[in-house]
Structure 1
Amino acid sequence: MAARSSFPNISSAARGGAFALLFAFSATALAQTPVRVGVVPAEKREVTKGAEFVGRVDAIQKVVIQARVKGFLQAVKFKEGQAVKVGDPLYEIEPEQFKAAVDQAQGALARAEASKTLAAIQLQRASELYAKQAGTAVQRDQAAASDKEAGGGVLSARANLETANINFGYTSITAPIDGRIGLTNVTAGNVVGPDSGALATIVSEDPIYVTFPISQREFLRVTGDAKEKLDNVGATLIFPDGSTYGPAGKINFVDVKVDRATDTIALRAVFPNPDGVLRDGQLVRVKLASDQPKSAVVAPQSALLADKDGVYVFVVEDGKAVMRRIKTGAESGADVVVQSGLSPGDMIIVQGLTNVRPGAPVAASPVQSRS
């Protein structure tokens, strides 16, 4: 005997409709299952006003080493990249010819001084003869002129000797500042001179400047009242990999004019650099923060979402996920300042966001960390 159907009085079409209804009921029940999410409350706390800008590291002192006399370069006396102190030897240009020039100038000075001595004696004799009416006024005047000419010769010879000594001193090139020296552009054996260009460059390292442009609007936002002293505005550096430079800096210069092309003001901060971590020309981010904190509502940056209409977050209200449009301000660590759209205590969804939809039921659990 054939087995009986479980629905003996229901047609096949009716049975199919029943199964579809059962499936729709199950899907609806599944859709109403609360989504598990992690939440943190929006907080109101003291934050400092701040902003980030792109800056360039500038050495306080930067010296281009050049030859001041022409000759063969006999020696390079430094290691490229090493730290140098004032007076450290760097280059030596053949000194022999310049030492010979010094000796020659000394000889010329000795001859000039001898001529001056003779001229002075002749002037004294001519004056005595003229006083005894044994000589003429012409002879006396000629002797006086010769004496002055000999004196001029001594001055000229002495100046030539000084010049020769100066040039001789230029054959030994030493470091004019404390700092770090770069690559040498010329090696021993080459002829160098004033027209040879830069031999090397020395830059100072500690302390060091960071210069950056800032718009007038940001300038007023960071400093607050225009009368507030910039001494109260601190500066920190952030490297391209996101790490932060340890020592804090201090603004020590604000340009006296605004760049008309960019409507920005140039600011400069000075940073300690004892380990030489900061290098001239390096690109960094500069973060400014006022010392005067203000109360503001903050939310975790991990909760922020965005679409074509702007930034929003999901909050939990009456067991459901509700979208909130917000206006954000400056970052504050792992959080962001919320200028409008949230109130202290609003439960912000930070975990499980991929499964959250507006109006969907949620089962919220507190999250201990905002990282």
Structure 2
Amino acid sequence: MSRVTVARTAMVLLLGMLAVPALAQESAIPVTVVPAELKPVSDAMEFVGRVEAPERVDIRARVKGMLEAVLFKEGETVKEGAPLYRIEKPLFAADVQQAEGDVERAKSALELAKIQRERAEELVAKNAGTVVARDQAVAGEDSSKGALLTAEAALNTTKINLGYTDIVSPITGRIGRTAFTRGHIVGPESGVLATVVSQDPMYVTFPISQRDYLEAQKDEGKVDLSNVEVRIKFPDGAVYGEVGKINFVDVSVSRTTDTVILRADVPNPVGKLVDGQLVRVELKAGTPEERIIVPQAALIADQAGLYVFAVENGKAVVRRVKTGGAVGPGVIVTDGLKAGEPVVVDGFEALRPGAAVRAVPAAASLKG
């Protein structure tokens, strides 16, 4: 064998030896990993609830007349006592004047009756008059007093009716659409003119099963409402920034649904919560405990249950896990993982137990 042949053979063997590690590295499956995080977690329960305004008032006309003006903009916030509608006043003002005249006549009649009674008493004292005439005079004065009271009551009624021509908001809140516009004849039979709904705070009511309610009562036999945080989640998954407190527990259990109605008081400073809105209600209570959290994306299910792929010594290993509920985008792992273990969240589709992997940390850790 020539020197050239020997050199070529050695070169081929050397290149082959160098290529083995490179091929092994290229065969490793790239995966994205996130460490299993140890985070403080409070016990939480989630329910479906509905937003309710503490105050909701239907505005109605209390006297009949032509609607002279609509004094608000639909959808705006109105203050308590703010004018909303005005009904034409002339007929009601005329009723007040007429009633005032009736009061003056009644006063004059009472004055005359008083004089007649005094005169009749003087005559009886001088034995110049009869007792019957005196008694009639006394009765006439009493009747005049009653007539004056009736006239004054009628005057008050007309003044009240005149005041009802100015329809004002009884509460502070947002006002909805108006059912009538200027020029319509409105009255008590017209129904609701508009609705005012209070805004801050808002109530959130939600039913919980009797079983959950009894479970919550196990500690000292009583629910400590002061330690329960109420969080609101919208249908799109967004979490409401304000924290509420439970302010009411119903006094009975529904016979049809076997649930108890709870109500929370939730701040609503910018009006994000809307009356009638459907939301999810999360209750958190007790002292937070350290729990292992992994992203929901890391969980895989098969016939044996749930598992995740972890990375150990550059290889994929299966960890059978038990979970204990969701925390934001993550899941509590109660058994099967240790804090800090890298868990595969992307790229596990082609993984098999024992497969070589190239772990790449996720750009951001799990947010709770």
TM-score by length of 2: 0.85
* Partner of residue 200 from structure 2, selected from 206, 209, 214: 206
- Which residue of structure 2 lines up, in the alignment, with residue 3 of structure 1? none
Aligned to 1:131: 125
The counterpart of 1:195, out of the listed 170, 189, 211, is 189
User: Which residue, out of 239, 242, 246, partners 2:237?
Assistant: 242
- 1:101 matched residue in structure 2: 95
Q: Once the two structures are superposed, what CA deviation does each residue of 1:231-270 show, in whole Å capped at 9, x if it has no partner?
A: 1111222222222222222222222222232222222111
Which residue of structure 1 aligns with residue 114 of structure 2? 120
Q: Aligned partners of 1:224, 1:186: CA distance in 2, in Å?
A: 55
Deviation at 1:127, TM superposition (A): 0.7
> Secondary structure of the equivalent of 2:188?
coil
1:334 CA drift (Å): 3.1
The CA deviation at 1:316 is: 4.2
Say if 1:322 and 1:280 are closer, same or farther in 2 by CA, change over 3 A. same
Unaligned stretches of 5+ residues in structure 2: 1-22
- 2:148 is paired with a residue whose SS is helix
After superposing the two structures, state which structure 1 stretch, 184-193 or 327-336, moved more. Answer: 327-336
| 2:169 is the alignment partner of 1:175 | yes
- Output the CA distance in 2 between the equivalents of 1:79 and 1:347: 58
8 Å Cα contact 2:316-2:357 kept in structure 1: no
CA distance in 2, matches of 1:45, 1:205: 36
Shift of 1:107: 0.7
CA contact (8 A) 1:123 1:140 kept: yes
Cα drift, residue 347 of structure 1: 4.2
Aligned to 1:199, the other structure's residue is in SS state strand
Counterpart of 2:283 in 1: which secondary structure? strand
* Bigger Cα displacement from structure 2, 345-354 vs 121-130: 345-354
1:159: which partner in 2? 153
Whole-angstrom distance in 1 between the partners of 2:356 and 2:223: 48
Taking a change above 3 Å as real, the CA distance of residues 231 and 346 of structure 1, as seen in their structure-2 partners, is: same
Return 5+ residue gaps in structure 1 as ranges. 1-28
**For the Cα contact (< 8 Å) 1:222–1:290, is it kept in 2?**
no
SS in 2 for 1:117: helix
Aligned twin of 1:91: 85
Q: Who is 1:71 aligned against?
A: 65
SS in 2 for 1:257: coil
Alpha-carbon spacing, 1:76–1:309, altered in 2? closer, same or farther (3 Å): farther
Q: 2:214 and 2:359 mapped to 1: Cα distance?
A: 41
Tell me, in whole angstroms, the C-alpha distance in 2 between the residues paired with 1:95 and 1:309: 80
- In 2, distance between residues paired with 1:290 and 1:155? 63
The one of 247, 269, 291 equivalent to 1:274 is: 269
Residue in structure 1 matching 2:250, options 242, 251, 255: 255
2:326 corresponds in structure 1 to: 331
Cα offsets for 1:173-202 (capped at 9, x unmatched):
011111111100011111111111000000
Percent identity between matched residues is: 52
Q: Find the aligned partners of 1:349 and 1:221 in 2 and give their Cα distance.
A: 36
Give the Cα separation in 1 of the matches to 2:165 and 2:103: 23
SS in 2 for 1:48: strand
Name the CA shift for 1:219/1:295 in 2 (closer, same or farther; >3 Å): farther
Residues 236 and 292 from structure 1, CA distance in 2 versus in 1: closer, same or farther, beyond 3 angstroms? Answer: same
Name the TM-score, length of structure 1 as normaliser: 0.84
Kept in 1: contact 2:87–2:165 (CA 8 A): yes
Report if aligned partners of 2:298, 2:343 keep a CA contact under 8 Å in 1. Answer: yes
Displacement after TM superposition at 1:168 (Å):
0.9
Q: Counterpart in 2 of 1:52?
A: 46
Aligned residues: 341
**Aligned-partner Cα distance in 2 for 1:299–1:64:** 50
Query: Which one is further off, 286-295 or 122-131?
Result: 286-295
1:351 aligns with 346
2:122 & 2:155 partners in 1: Cα distance?
Answer: 35
CA displacement at 1:362 relative to structure 2: 2.6
Query: 1:52, CA displacement in angstroms?
Result: 2.4
Question: Cα distance, 1:41 vs. partner?
Answer: 4.0
The offset of 1:33, in angstroms, is 4.8
Deviations along 1:126-170, one digit per CA (max 9) or x if unpaired, are: 111011110111111111111111111011111111111111111
CA RMSD of aligned residues (A): 2.4
Once the 2 structures are TM-superposed, how far is the Cα of residue 51 of structure 1 from its aligned partner?
Answer: 2.6
Q: Which residue of 1 aligns with 2:74?
A: 80
| Map 1:289-300 → 2, pairs under 5 A | 289-300=284-295
Shift of 1:224: 7.0
Shift of the 141–95 alpha-carbon distance from structure 1 to 2, 3 Å rule, reads: same
Work out the CA distance in 1 between the residues paired with 2:299 and 2:94: 79
C-alpha contact 1:223 1:290 (8 A) present in aligned 2: no
Which stretch shifts more, 145-154 or 242-251?
242-251
SS in 2 for 1:336: strand
| Residue 306 of structure 2: aligned partner | 311
Corresponding residue SS for 1:168:
helix
What letter corresponds to residue 292 of structure 1 in structure 2? T
